[in-house]
Structure 1
Amino acid sequence: MDTELARTFLVVVAAGSFVDAAQKLHITQSTVSARIQRLEELLGAELFTRNKSGTTLTPAGQQFQRHAASLTRIVEQARQEIGVVSGFRATINIGGRIGLWEDLLLRWIPSFAAAAPDVAVRAIVGFEEDLMQGLIEGRIDAAVMYTPQARPGLKVELLLEEQLVMVSTRRNAASVPESDYIYVDWGAEFFGHHSLAFPNFSGARLAANVGWLGLQHLLAAGGTGYFPIRLIRESEARGALHRVEHTPEFRIQAYLCFSNKIESTALELALATIRRAAREADLARH
């Protein structure tokens, strides 16, 4: 079905008449009528009841409204995800956990733009399950995450190792979680190490599955928690955060995932520059 027919139908519904719809679409009323007539012929049902005051939906029209909205939304989403932005030769879709966008992928964007000014980037934030599904379906070209799953046709490559340290807004904070402790879920591996290190830990007043959320709360309201060194470096330098002495440090790995078959020079360059950004982040940590 021509999505222009569905879009015209939705504009008529919103405008309440063929005349007003024509004005919104910047076409003639006869063109609107022809499109709706064509749509009704395709569906084999009358969609509107016409009267002097405008148009109202028939029962069939009410049913089709849901489908028309879904159809136009899906097509627009597909255009955004796989279409080439005007003025650029290609578009790449890069995904990542929000904690890996912060200070890593966000730093990568300008360096990639300098290396490939004619390639547009669609930045996607998500958790591992959504990112993996996007890679499998081809909606995402490459993604950076902590706990990927092996899937046929996808390559999983170690990108960097995060060093997690306990920090606090308080100087000389206790070396065990106290009432102001913020627990961030950094994945199953972190959970295992954390449980062994703090066997008496029974839960935190605030638990977050997004590191950025935990860190922002920590800086705003105070407290203690585990965060990657690269995320707390600036706050530590200005004295807003302090490392808690005599506490274990944990390490978690971040991975770069992409298709085994790379058919785009733009994606090859994106992968190379992401790897370079990760090396620079690792050097800065030391």
Structure 2
Amino acid sequence: MQLDHIETFLDIMESRNFNRTADRLGVTQSTVSTRIKNLEQAIGSELFLRGRAGAEPTAAGRRFEAYARAMLSTWSQARHDVRAFNRFEGTLRVAAQVGMTRSILPGWVETLFQVLPKSSIHVESDYSPQMISDLSLGNLDIAVVYAPRYLPEIAYDPLMVEEYVMVSTAASILSEVNPDTYIRPGYTVALEKAHAEALPQLAIGRLSMGSETLAEAMLRRMGGTCYMRSDDARRYTAERPSFVVEGAPALQQPVHTAILARRKHEPIIRRGIRALHLAVMSMES
């Protein structure tokens, strides 16, 4: 099985057309057909149904897509690691939850540069399910997640608890909050549950958002009320006419580190975790 077969398969999954994929890859249509035929023979299953309308993936094709993407990702990471081998003593790939780019992530990266001066560092921000999947596939070394998904190969440890507070452009106390301009925090399952228990009167609103970054952007654009991380709330209220709403309960979001359990004693992993804890301590001081 060759990588160009995998790349061709994934392109057809997007284009749904052999001729279009041939144009996009700069090869002939017969080359595309041959690559897919060889791939189907190697797998032992038909991957596409060809017709006048184009190419539709079979059930086997749809199932194979995730494996194909994982193979390309693993190959890309392998090339990066091997190329870096001659220049660096090691490579560390880390990721944190989307939304932490202004909180944990910058300080963590800065501290990693100090504790791993001869290692290359790759940094991402993503959502918990994808980070956990990347850990399982070996595409990440350390992740900071909100929602652990318990798998035998993944080890989790509590890191900290983030506090969210209610911020409003119009209401200084909870009784003044207008439900019609309130943005319900759907950022995580834990926050949604805590919000429903603490503020049942605001649990069913017109607008909810799954991103705190987007909620803040809408607050800037339209005004209203939403929940923000405490540090973001301090920054926002210092920049714009707004209030931390008095009487509104703070919501708590547990944060966890995640690594492959079998790698927890590796020196580079231990140093990466140590750098993370130092960054959190610095942020909280």
Report the TM-score when normalising by structure 1. 0.71
Is the contact made by 2:167 and 2:245 (CA closer than 8 Å) also made in structure 1?
yes
Is the contact made by 2:168 and 2:225 (CA closer than 8 Å) also made in structure 1?
yes
Equivalent pairs counted in the alignment come to 241
Change in 2 beyond 3 A, CA 1:104/1:192: same
Structure 1 unmatched ranges of 5 or more: 22-54
Is the contact made by 1:108 and 1:273 (CA closer than 8 Å) also made in structure 2?
yes
Distance in 2 of aligned mates of 1:237 and 1:76? 46
The 5 A counterparts of 1:166-245 are 166-170=166-170, 172=172, 174-175=174-175, 176=177, 178-201=179-202, 203-245=204-246
- Give deviations 1:133-185, integer Å, cap 9, x for gaps: 22222222111111212221322111111111111123525444522111222
* Residue range with higher mean Cα deviation, 228-237 or 174-183: 174-183
Distance in 2 of aligned mates of 1:194 and 1:267? 35
Does 1:63 pair with 2:30? no
Change in 2 beyond 3 A, CA 1:239/1:267: same
Structure 2 SS opposite 1:186: coil
Is the contact made by 1:160 and 1:279 (CA closer than 8 Å) also made in structure 2?
no
Tell me which residue corresponds to 2:272: 270
Change in 2 beyond 3 A, CA 1:259/1:126: same
Structure 2 unmatched ranges of 5 or more: 12-21, 40-64
Tell me which residue corresponds to 1:145: 145
The 5 A counterparts of 1:105-184 are 105-170=105-170, 172=172, 174-175=174-175, 176=177, 178-184=179-185
Is the contact made by 1:3 and 1:72 (CA closer than 8 Å) also made in structure 2?
no
Does 1:258 pair with 2:280? no
Percent identity between the two aligned chains: 19
Report the TM-score when normalising by structure 2. 0.71
Distance in 1 of aligned mates of 2:258 and 2:219? 31
Distance in 1 of aligned mates of 2:142 and 2:154? 10
Higher Cα radius of gyration: 1
Distance in 2 of aligned mates of 1:202 and 1:192? 10
Does 1:80 pair with 2:76? yes
Distance in 2 of aligned mates of 1:234 and 1:269? 31
Is the contact made by 2:158 and 2:256 (CA closer than 8 Å) also made in structure 1?
yes
Does 1:279 pair with 2:275? no
CA RMSD, aligned part only? Answer: 3.3
Structure 2 SS opposite 1:200: helix
1:116 Cα deviation after fit: 2.0
- Give deviations 1:175-226, integer Å, cap 9, x for gaps: 4452211122233332222112222335334322122221222233322111
